[in-house]
Amino acid sequence: MLTHFIGGTRVPGGSAFPVRDPVTGAEIDQVYDADPEVVDRAVRAAREAAPGWAALPVGERAGWLRRLADGIEARFDDLVAAEAADTGMPLEAAGTLDLPRSVLNFRTFAEIAAQRPDEAFHLPGALSYTVRRPLGVVAVIVPWNLPFLLMTWKLAPALVAGNTVVVKPSEHTPCSAALFTEICEEVELPPGVVNVIFGSGPAGRLLVEHPSVDGVTFTGSTRTGQTIMGAVADRVKPVSFELGGKNAGVVFADCDLGRAIDGTVRSVFANGGQACLCTERLYVERSIFEEFCAVLAGRAQIVEPQPMISAEHRERVLSYYALARSEGAKVLTGGGVPSFGDERDGGYFVEPTVVSGLSEWSRFNREEIFGPVCHVAPFTTENQAVDLANSSEFGLAATVWTSNLDRAHRVAQRLEAGLVWVNTWCLRDLRAPFGGAKLSGTGREGGTRSLDFYSQPTTITIKLEQPDP
Ligand code: 6OD
């Protein structure tokens, strides 16, 4: 049974619910669903620890981040196993993406924060300079798709900026966060600096609404982001949201087709399509459209399927497969549920799917699906490609495939997205701003942008009296 971690101790509390392995549907553990008392206790523990943590020199907090990174490396294999069991992702993916990135999250933000200068502004006879203060207690609400990567992506800058935190992982994926609490104990992180509570939506709501929570960072659906924003509006709490996407890929006939296909297969099907950065809308120049569709559909058939996170999410993805048909789509491949003839038949798999033939205004092309599926449509001109790619209420990420350098810059700069990749996908520099436009979020994290969110400057201005000549 996984228990909450509050003020450095393990705390039971709330009703229990099962954690399931998405590959087989089997119960792998039980976890508590935090009740109001647990949430309050966690926030109070974080509040109590806040002044001492904020008072440490930033170099010391950076040292704690490095110790946490070392601790993760020491428990690497356990964490890989926990992440894979929780999410259904292959061990290889957890071991080459999630876990190495988590270590890098801690090491990168330790480096950036320790080296960051304050600002100073000189006027004749006056000096303004800034000191940065942490927000205080930050609620870190983590989704289920890349749980350890995304938890540490927020935790590292929040901590190094001087905040204490209450983390709530998704109810579907508590195991790697539970192991992380053991690492906090092993490195002897001061109690109350990191608190982890488990639970579902109502626990998250209690957490963000708690009057002693000073800021909220969240990655997840746009709907939940809207709910959180409403819940914190009366206290005007700062929020940083990375929300849903309906990401476009634009493929020009002048691209390196092999690279474009490989990249597109990855961008559509990685993690079973369960990443906010995945491509769900593809626009392909008409002269290569038929060839591209045929090759992509063929490749989709040999993609190793990855399960959806839960039975409910699988139903949701399948409802979009049905919607595509009812809206008149042509299904180029997939559209159903695979059969393995083994224990995976109890899991939450869907077939990797490619469809075409729908308008950009169809529901299928407007709503985020979050599964291994994309729609492919042809375009004729560069302007049309840009208009189609921008014809979405979302604006998280986009990809452009072309060998024409001028076109690459021209198109990338016109796409309404927080992130645009050219001839690649999901290549990340942790120092670069990261976040979405339109319904895909508010705020940017990454590098110093994260530190800007997790702390606020006070500007101090001193008038310098000149001595009489
Ligand atoms: O790479 C990252 O830092 C990041 N935030 C990825 C988000 C993926 C969303 O599903």
What residues are labeled active site? 242, 276
Q: Which one, of 88, 11, 75, 73, lies nearest residue 45 by Cα?
A: 11
- Take atom 1 of ligand 1 and give the residue whose Cα is closest: 428
So what's the pLDDT on residue 257?
A: 98
Q: Judge whether 398 and 389 are in contact, CB under 8 Å.
A: yes
So what's the pLDDT on residue 271?
A: 98
Q: Which one, of 357, 289, 353, lies nearest residue 326 by Cα?
A: 357
Ligand 1 proximity of 277 Cβ (cutoff 6 Å) = yes
User: What DSSP string runs through 349-397?
Assistant: ----EEEE---TTSHHHHS---SSEEEEEEE-SHHHHHHHHT-SSEESE
b or e along 416-431 (b: 16 or more beta carbons within 10 Å of the residue's beta carbon)? bbbbbbbbebbeeebe
Q: Which atom of ligand 1 is nearest to the CA of 150?
A: 5
Q: Which atom of ligand 1 is nearest to the CA of 428?
A: 1
- Averaged over 95-110, what is the pLDDT? 97
Higher-confidence position of 430 and 1: 430
So what's the pLDDT on residue 427?
A: 97
In Å, how far are 55, 106, 183, 351 from 65, measured between CA atoms?
Answer: 16, 5, 12, 40
From CA 26, how far away is CA 28, in angstroms rounded?
A: 6
Position 415, amino acid? L
Both tokens of 20, joined, read: 């399931």
So what's the pLDDT on residue 469?
A: 78
User: How does pLDDT run across 135-156, given as a tens digit for each residue?
Assistant: 999 999 999 999 999 999 999 9
- Averaged over 217-226, what is the pLDDT? 97
pLDDT of 466 above 90 = no
- Averaged over 238-244, what is the pLDDT? 98
Q: Which one, of 185, 131, 188, 136, lies nearest residue 159 by Cα?
A: 136
Angle of helix 175-186 versus helix 58-74 axis, rounded to 10? 120
pLDDT of 465 above 90 = no
* CB proximity list for 422: less than 8 A, separation 6 or greater: 399, 400, 401, 402, 408, 412
Tell how far the Cα of 151 is from the centroid of ligand 1, in angstroms.
10
Q: Judge whether 247 and 383 are in contact, CB under 8 Å.
A: no
User: How does pLDDT run across 417-462, given as a tens digit for each residue?
Assistant: 999 999 999 999 999 999 999 999 999 999 999 999 999 999 999 9
Give residue 350's region: left, alpha or beta (phi > 0; psi -120 to 50). Answer: beta
Q: Judge whether 353 and 314 are in contact, CB under 8 Å.
A: no
pLDDT of 275 above 90 = yes
Strand partners, 400: 250, 422
pLDDT of 376 above 90 = yes
So what's the pLDDT on residue 467?
A: 78
From CA 45, how far away is CA 267, in angstroms rounded?
A: 41
pLDDT of 192 above 90 = yes
pLDDT of 468 above 90 = no
| DSSP secondary structure code for residue 445 in this structure | B
- Take atom 7 of ligand 1 and give the residue whose Cα is closest: 276
Angle of helix 99-115 versus helix 147-160 axis, rounded to 10? 10
Share of the chain above pLDDT 70, in %: 100
Sheet containing 455-463, strands listed edge to edge, beginning at the edge strand earlier in sequence: 120-123, 126-134, 455-463
Q: Is the pTM of this model over 0.75?
A: yes
Ligand 1 proximity of 153 Cβ (cutoff 6 Å) = yes
From CA 290, how far away is CA 242, in angstroms rounded?
A: 35
Q: Judge whether 88 and 21 are in contact, CB under 8 Å.
A: yes
Angle, alpha carbons 337-340-345 (nearest 5°)? 65
Ligand 1 proximity of 428 Cβ (cutoff 6 Å) = yes
- Averaged over 256-264, what is the pLDDT? 98
Tell how far the Cα of 380 is from the centroid of ligand 1, in angstroms.
32
So what's the pLDDT on residue 457?
A: 96
Q: Judge whether 127 and 462 are in contact, CB under 8 Å.
A: yes
Q: Which atom of ligand 1 is nearest to the CA of 146?
A: 10
* Residue of 146, 424, 426 to test ligand 1 pocket, by largest number of atoms within 8 Å of CB: 146
| DSSP secondary structure code for residue 348 in this structure | -
Q: For all residues of the chain together, what is the average pLDDT?
A: 97
pLDDT of 312 above 90 = yes
